[in-house]
Each structure stands twice: as structure tokens, then as C-alpha cells.
Amino acid sequence: MATTEEIRSSLAEIVNEVAGIPVSDVQLDKSFTDDLDVDSLSMVEVVVAAEEKFDVKIPDDEVKNLKTVGDAVAFIERASS
């Protein structure tokens, strides 16, 4: 079972790959759209890559609730527990 920091770190690598945001900028309190410039299409890419990486399902209806990196990390922790 991955720790919160391990999930954040892996998610940061995905955000870096998709949107070019430096890994160190992808912190729990950061908003995907407002702080990290991840647009709606890139967000889908992040979600699909995260599903693959963490072997979880993130339903389409849930994606709009994942406003911050912390929201996404918490969802992945719940889904994989």
C-alpha cells in the first residue's frame, strides 16, 4: 500500500509528462486548473494515466470533484484501500 507521499510523487510525474509542470510544483494544495494549468483534456489524460498506474477506476462523474492534487491523492488512497 503506497503512502500519501508516494502517490503524490507518482501523480506529479504524470502531470509533468502530460502538462510539463515541474514535479516539485505538484503539491497537495495545488489546483489542477488554476495553479498547474492542466486543462480539461489534459485532466482526462492525467486521470487515465493514474488509473493505469495505481490500478484504480476513477469514474467520469468523480473527475469534476478532483480540484486539487490532494483531492486526487485522497481519492486514489480510498479507491486502492
Q: Which residues of the shown chain bind another protein in the complex (CB under 8 A)? A: 18-20, 41-42, 44-45, 48, 51
What is the secondary structure of 10-24 as a DSSP string? HHHHHHHHHH---GG
Our CB check for another protein shows the closer of 57 and 78 to be 57
Strand partners, 59: none
Q: How far is the CB of 4 from another protein (least distance, A)?
A: 26
**Cα 37 to Cα 17, 21, 22, 33, 81, distances in angstroms:** 13, 8, 12, 5, 30
Our CB check for another protein shows the closer of 6 and 52 to be 52
**23: which DSSP letter?**
G
Q: How far is the CB of 37 from another protein (least distance, A)?
A: 10
Q: How far is the CB of 47 from another protein (least distance, A)?
A: 9
CB 7 within 8 A of CB 77: yes
Our CB check for another protein shows the closer of 13 and 20 to be 20
